[in-house]
Amino acid sequence: MPTQLTVRLPDDLRKALDAASRKSQSHNSEIVRMALRQFLQSGDPDAKKHAERVRGLLGILESGIPDLADKHREYILDSLPDGQ
């Protein structure tokens, strides 16, 4: 048997839900179920957002320092004014 859930929405979200409902000719409850399924299937939504924001930058920078990955701590310490 389906379970009923009551959710309080801010006015702006309710207006957006009503508009989407009219546009798709679906009930509000169906749109909420679809959104909830998508959210739950996607895992951590913030992790994907962060990765997508920098996707174009990954692997494109060249430091010219061949051992930067191995000795990154040393390079950082050397760049500090007092070396600590």
pTM: 0.50
Whether residue 63 is contained in a domain is answered as yes
The count of structural domains within the chain is 1
Whether residue 45 is contained in a domain is answered as yes
Whether residue 56 is contained in a domain is answered as yes
User: Rounded to an integer, what distance in angstroms lies between the CA atom of residue 36 and that of residue 32?
Assistant: 6
CB within 8 Å of 29: residues ≥ 6 apart? none
Distance of CA 25 to the CA centre of its chain: 29
Whether residue 1 is contained in a domain is answered as no
The helix/strand count (H/E) of the chain reads as 4, 0
Whether residue 6 is contained in a domain is answered as no
Whether residue 84 is contained in a domain is answered as no
Instruction: Give one DSSP letter per residue of 5-19, joined into a string.
Output: ------HHHHHHHHH
Whether residue 34 is contained in a domain is answered as yes
How confident is the model at residue 17, as a pLDDT?
94
- What domain range includes position 50? 11-79
Whether residue 58 is contained in a domain is answered as yes
Mean pLDDT of residues grouped by 10 in the chain (84 residues)?
89 94 93 89 70 74 81 87 68
